[in-house]
Amino acid sequence: MRVLLAGASGTLGRALVPQLLAAGHEVVGITRSKPSADRLRARGAEAIVADVLDRDALLAAVRGQRADAVMNQLTALSTPPLRYESMRMTNRLREEGTANLLEAASLVGARRALTQSIVFGYGYRRHHSGPVDETAPFGVPEQLPVDPIHAALASTERQVFSTPGIEGIALRYGLFYGLDGREMQRMLRRRMLPVSTWEGVVPLVHHEDAASATVAALERGVPGHAYNVAAAPASWRHHLETAARALGAPAPLVLPPWLLRIALPYPAELMTRMDLRVSTERAARELGWTPRYPTVEEGWAAAAGR
């Protein structure tokens, strides 16, 4: 398939582009910068320079293109989101960005649209009832400061599922890790990533595994379906202590939850409130996908050896 990929130059995009090309697909990456476009071309993709939030510029840039599928892998997280306001631009990319990309899809003749979502949309709380599957309520307001994030996730999913003539698929990824080892090492060395004593777990997925699930969803995903894409869950503390060991960095500071909430309001919401396991049975059954790195130990060992 020929894929118009927004976010091709991002961390997930960098894992995804080579996997799409290796599977025989053609990639037209969208980026805002010419140097990123040149890097995409050097990797064997085509590239378009456009800001996805500028509807008219985007539509002008894709005019004359043809594609079978459009993919939204956009975020604005190049600095870690420490406060709720840091998610504002990512929320816009999920709401307006998806709308603009779906208009672009119609212009280039694409019939399939995939969008990036995240399992945190199941809610920032303890999920007592065992692994959560894709039929559970998603993106529902919780009367918490994270509600705009939920609204944006619900919006991008709803848009791809409800656009006439489009086969929409949502990828509800776990927390990515793996390809950002150097950045992680830098932050751990500076003691910038404290953890709490909360033992709740969150779903995680190595970037390479997230990319392989995405290729499988492009090829075999059932229209109208969301897919949980995650490996074994881990507590933040276990995840970051494992990363520190693998990367030769000092163990993270352990702070009480109340102090973490003051220091890092948004991540603290995840690190002191959430206990979530997800079922990936649907991805295994319909996509034939299982992770290459089932645990953070295996994933960080691979990342450290890179």
Ligand X SMILES: NC(=O)c1ccc[n+]([C@@H]2O[C@H](COP(=O)([O-])OP(=O)(O)OC[C@H]3O[C@@H](n4cnc5c(N)ncnc54)[C@H](OP(=O)(O)O)[C@@H]3O)[C@@H](O)[C@H]2O)c1
Which residues contact residue 248 at a Cβ distance below 8 angstroms, ignoring those fewer than 6 apart? 185, 304
Q: Which one, of 272, 271, 160, lies nearest residue 225 by Cα? A: 160
Local structure of 96: helix, strand or coil: helix
**For residue 12, what are its two tokens?**
């997930």
Taking the complex as a whole, how short is the minimal distance between the CB of residue 216 and ligand X, in angstroms? 17
Residue nearest to ligand X (CB): 10
- Looking at the Cβ atoms of 48 and 216, the one nearer to ligand X is 48
Taking the complex as a whole, how short is the minimal distance between the CB of residue 205 and ligand X, in angstroms? 7
Which residues contact residue 16 at a Cβ distance below 8 angstroms, ignoring those fewer than 6 apart? 5, 8, 73, 210, 211, 214, 215
- Looking at the Cβ atoms of 1 and 77, the one nearer to ligand X is 77
Taking the complex as a whole, how short is the minimal distance between the CB of residue 111 and ligand X, in angstroms? 22
Taking the complex as a whole, how short is the minimal distance between the CB of residue 258 and ligand X, in angstroms? 25
- Looking at the Cβ atoms of 187 and 301, the one nearer to ligand X is 187
Local structure of 47: helix, strand or coil: strand
Find the angle CA(255)-CA(125)-CA(162) to the nearest 5 degrees.
Answer: 130
Residues that bind ligand X in the complex, under the rule CB under 6 A: 6-13, 30-33, 36, 51-53, 74-78, 93, 118, 173, 175-176, 180
- Looking at the Cβ atoms of 120 and 161, the one nearer to ligand X is 120
Question: Residue 258's CB: how many other CB atoms inside 10 A?
Answer: 10
Half-sphere exposure of 138 (CA within 13 A, CB side): 25
Look up residue 287 and give its DSSP letter: I
The answer to whether the CB of 65 falls within 8 A of the CB of 48 is: yes
- Looking at the Cβ atoms of 101 and 165, the one nearer to ligand X is 101
In DSSP terms, which residues pair with 175 in a beta bridge?
204
Taking the complex as a whole, how short is the minimal distance between the CB of residue 225 and ligand X, in angstroms? 18
- Looking at the Cβ atoms of 35 and 165, the one nearer to ligand X is 35
Taking the complex as a whole, how short is the minimal distance between the CB of residue 124 and ligand X, in angstroms? 14
In DSSP terms, which residues pair with 126 in a beta bridge?
275
